[in-house]
Amino acid sequence: MDSASGGDNGNDGSATTSEGGFKPRDDHLAVLMSLGFSKNAATRGLYYTGNYNADLAAAWIIENEDKDINAPFEADAEDSDDSEDDYIPDGVDFYKMVFVVNSEFSMGVGKVAAQVAHSALGLHRVLLENPQKYGQMLMSWEQFGETKIVVKGDNTSQLLGLAAKANTMDLPNYLVQDAGRTQIEPGSITCLGIMGKIDQVDSVTGSLKLL
């Protein structure tokens, strides 16, 4: 599964819940903790995203890591009003964007950030240019957390192969070819953005490591 890691979130500490309160799904909790999130952070992320899946929880943790995310967790009556258990209807499709950075090139942090941004904007334009095909996908993605994951690709050949696989699955995608003004040669493929249902995107990029 592709899911984002959230900085210095260790595996120490244990989550607590109020008696008869929230119980995170063990499989989702295990995935999140394997990515380096603390048990408290993982539990909190699952709580606020309806205990639905690890991807949504990871995205929530990253977006809220400025808070005391690793503090002992307790679901009380006041906090339960903020839970999204009733927020996610049955049968809804969840989508995510995954950005594959070409690690063949020695790009600095700022350069990588710029390439991912280019890919995100390009992919977003692809969606906007075909609202009949991608409108519902975009609306659902925007409504349920705008999940975005960045992973590491080995080289240009791999990125091209992933793009080809995405095309065969009819998943919108966008390849960034750098202008070559800094650090790398003009026309170099630096990043691939793919969007689709979580399980479909995972079938393309699920074996890749987080950046």
Residues 77 and 107 in one domain: no
Pairing of strands 148-153, 173-177: unpaired
Q: Give me the pLDDT at residue 17, please.
A: 45
Give Cα 66 distance to the centre of its chain.
18
Q: Which amino acid is at 210?
A: L
**pLDDT band at 90; cut points 50, 70, 90:** low
Compute the average pLDDT of residues 54-81: 71
Residues 199 and 122 in one domain: yes
Give the model confidence (pLDDT) of 4-44 as tens digits.
433 333 333 334 444 347 888 999 899 888 888 899 988 98
Residues 28 and 52 in one domain: yes
Residues 107 and 154 in one domain: yes
Q: Give me the pLDDT at residue 86, please.
A: 42
Contact predicate 193/174, CB 8 Å: yes
Q: Which CATH number is 108's domain given?
A: 3.40.1490.10
Q: How far apart are CA 74 and CA 79, in angstroms?
A: 9
Residues 21 and 81 in one domain: yes
Residues 104 and 196 in one domain: yes
Residues 48 and 17 in one domain: yes
Look at residue 100 and tell me if it is in a domain: yes
Residue 91 has pLDDT above 70, yes or no: no
Look at residue 153 and tell me if it is in a domain: yes
Phi, psi of 91 (to 5 degrees): 80, 5
Q: Between helices 54-63 and 26-34, what is the axis angle to 10°?
A: 50
Beta strands in 78-135 (DSSP E): 95-102
The rounded mean pLDDT for the chain is: 82
17 or 164: which leads in pLDDT: 164
Residues 44 and 99 in one domain: no
Which structural domain, as residue segments, surrounds residue 18? 1-87
Domain count, the chain: 2
Residues 5 and 76 in one domain: yes
82 or 190: which leads in pLDDT: 190
Q: Which CATH number is 72's domain given?
A: 1.10.8
Look at residue 210 and tell me if it is in a domain: no
Q: Kindly state the DSSP code that residue 78 receives in the 8-state scheme.
A: H
Q: Which amino acid is at 82?
A: D
pTM beyond 0.75: the answer is no
Q: How far apart are CA 30 and CA 48, in angstroms?
A: 17
148-153: strand order across its sheet: 148-153, 95-102, 189-197, 173-177
Residues 201 and 107 in one domain: yes
